[in-house]
Structure 1
Amino acid sequence: MRTIVITGASSGVGLAAAKQLAAMGDQIVAVGRDPRRLGAAMAEIRKAATGPEPDEVRADFETLEDVRLVAEHVLSAYEKIDVLANNAGGMLGSYRVTPDGFEATAQSNHLAPFLLANLLRERLSGGRIIGTSSDAHRRARVDPDDFTGDPQAWSAWRAYGAAKGENILFAAEAARRWPDILSVSFHPGLVRTNFGADPATRLVYKIWPFLITAQKAGALLTWLATAPANELTTGAYYVGRKVTEPRQWVTDPELAARLWTSSAQAVNL
């Protein structure tokens, strides 16, 4: 039995993977933001479970204190964590600054999962970290010294793409810094979910004919969580079940190291 922490488990890819892994008998710790949606998701996960009672933690990753509370709960309840699936995140409809002082896309998609991974690091030894990234990184650039951005120049897609690039850089740098933990990122595909903050984007992600199901995307996360470690490549970016070269700028070890240092300073590690 594995202990698996899945953020963004209230819907979509995270919920699908949580149900699949619970059906395998794993201990699921589901993290979600909205109490109503998390409650509904937990009912589905419990119905699928064949092992221990699934656990839940409500947290809003636009508040770093919530991330620390998630870590406190997990550390108090579980002696070992086999998998941390940093799946929470998304795209915003407008520029917004969090109570912690960061642009909300950067915080919820990168800084919050970065902090959670670091807080759980010791319990993850011998386990793995899986980051849900996106090929949207190909249309943006990362500034490792700026997590607030310029509200006048802000774009939802650029902010989201930059954060997804940061997920790839994190996975590669974590593999270098933490060789006892398998660390990967992946593109789940264009998934039929309630993605996006604006109505037009949400509509596209509901009706576009070439989208894949959340179950299929969740199966990729499930595979990355359960495949033998020697069949996976630590630090890699996966599209489907294949290691794929991301855009060149997110393969730069110097950029990854700078991002790590600035992220650690930002979240007061």
Structure 2
Amino acid sequence: MDGKVCLITGATGGIGLETAKALARMGATVVLVGRDPGRTEAAVTAVKEAAPDAHVDRLRADLTSLKSVRELAQAFRSRYSRLDVLLNNAGLIIDRRQVTEDGLEATMATNHFAPFLLTNLLLDVMKATGPARIINVSSDAHVAARLDFDDLQSEKRYIGFQVYGTSKLANILFTRALAKRLQGTQVTANAVHPGMVRTGFGHNTVGFFRHIVKLGAAFMISAEKGARTSVYLASSPEVEAVSGQYFYKCRPKKPSSAARNDALAERLWQVSEQLTGVKG
């Protein structure tokens, strides 16, 4: 990974931080994206401790805000002329519906619309870089999910874990549609299920899911183990030409039938373009 630049969202803890450490140890320049300045600086320190010779940078962004995502892309472009790995890792789950400044439901805004916009804003940089890789962190929570385009913002019905699952389904559909658009380029796009990972994720909820997270902690894997597939997809020569797949434990895994629905993927792409103004 010497000379390669990796941009990682949700990098202040958990899987994102462990992935950053691993890639930094391999010689990559890692750019950590975080919302909280204190936590972001602490993450930079942790990566530098893990890889003292690595170049570690940080950028601030609030991924619930489309304006902030655009500013993030611009800030990155002002500092770097190449992007070898984009890891859309940041994730959110909340048990009460919240609406962002853009009028979007917060979970879908953070987990799908933000990476959709950020990826599209940085695609030309990645195409110019040469072989480059996009990795979208999804989850097996997508399996029972469905996309209701008549209620994409969950105004009629909101159940936190179901909305989270829908956002993870959107991640895979986005990856699938993106991979088709990248055919003929040197840029690949894949999605990953990291497994049930023991991190701080879900602890900001107060309802049923918080209790599930606590009860299941003893059976969850460490963040370091959860990061292995993301690291593999970012660095392994074995997957240099692989695109449009869903990975678990460093191997392709068949996602749900809904996640393999190309018509659904295309419709989501069109709606996402409209809601993010990505062509504007």
Matched, 1:177 2:181: yes
2:148 corresponds to which residue?
A: 143
- In structure 1, distance between residues paired with 2:260 and 2:121: 25
Deviations 1:145-185 (A, max 9, x none): 654222x5101011000000000001111110012211000
Q: What displacement does 1:203 show?
A: 5.3
- Measure how far apart 1:51 and its partner are: 4.2
Instruction: State yes or no: 1:198 paired with 2:200.
Output: no
CA separation of 1:190 and 1:127: change in aligned 2, threshold 3 A: same
Which residue of structure 2 lines up, in the alignment, with residue 107 of structure 1? 109
Counterparts of 1:242-261 in structure 2, within 5 Å, are 242-261=251-270
Cα gap change, 1:145 to 1:30, in 2 (>3 Å): farther
Give 2:198's aligned amino acid. R
Amino acid at match of 2:273: A
Give the Å deviation of 1:41.
1.0
1:63 maps to what in 2? 65
One-letter identity of the residue aligned with 1:141? R
**Aligned sequence identity (%):** 40
Deviations 1:7-41 (A, max 9, x none): 00010000000011111110001001122221211
Alignment of 1:77-96 (within 5 A): 77-96=79-98
Map 1:120-269; keep pairs closer than 5 Å.
120-125=122-127, 126-144=131-149, 146-150=151-155, 152-179=156-183, 180=185, 181-196=187-202, 197-199=204-206, 201-202=209-210, 204-206=212-214, 208=216, 209-228=218-237, 230=239, 233-269=242-278
Between stretches 50-59 and 158-167, larger displacement belongs to 50-59
Offset of residue 132 of structure 1: 0.3
Is 2:42 the counterpart of 1:35?
Answer: no
| Structure 1 residues without counterparts, runs of 5 or longer | none
Letter in 2 for 1:172: R
Pick aligned residue for 1:8 from 6, 10, 16: 10
Amino acid of the structure 1 residue aligned with 2:190:
V
Judging changes above 3 Å, is the alpha-carbon distance between structure 1 residues 206 and 41 closer, same or farther for their aligned structure 2 residues?
Answer: farther
Q: Matched residues in 1 for 2:44 and 2:150: separation? A: 38
**TM (normalized to structure 2)?**
0.91
Name the aligned partner's letter for residue 95 of structure 1: R
Q: Measure the CA separation in 2 of the matches of 1:17 and 1:146.
A: 35
Aligned residues: 268
**Cα distance in 2 between the residues matched to 1:210 and 1:232:** 34
Cα distance change of structure 1 residues 136 and 230 upon mapping to structure 2, 3 Å threshold: closer
The aligned counterpart of 2:75 is 73
State which of 29, 44, 47 in structure 2 corresponds to 1:45.
Answer: 47
Cα pair 2:48 2:54 within 8 Å, conserved: no
Q: Is the 8 A contact 2:8 2:88 kept in 1?
A: yes
Say if 1:203 and 1:25 are closer, same or farther in 2 by CA, change over 3 A: farther
Output one character per residue of 1:227-249: Cα deviation in whole Å (capped at 9) or x when no partner: 11546631001111121111101
Secondary structure of the 1:120 match is helix
CA contact (8 A) 2:161 2:209 kept: no
Q: Distance in 2 between matches of 1:201 and 1:46?
A: 34
1:267 Cα deviation after fit:
0.6
Structure 1, residues 94-152: CA drift from partner, whole Å, max 9, x if none?
A: 100100010001100000000000000011123010000000001211134654222x5
TM-score (norm 1): 0.94
In the TM superposition, residue 93 of structure 1 has moved relative to its aligned partner by: 2.2
Aligned 8 A contact 1:187 1:239 in 2: yes
What is the Cα deviation at residue 74 of structure 1? 1.1
CA distance in structure 1 between the partners assigned to 2:71 and 2:60 by the alignment:
9
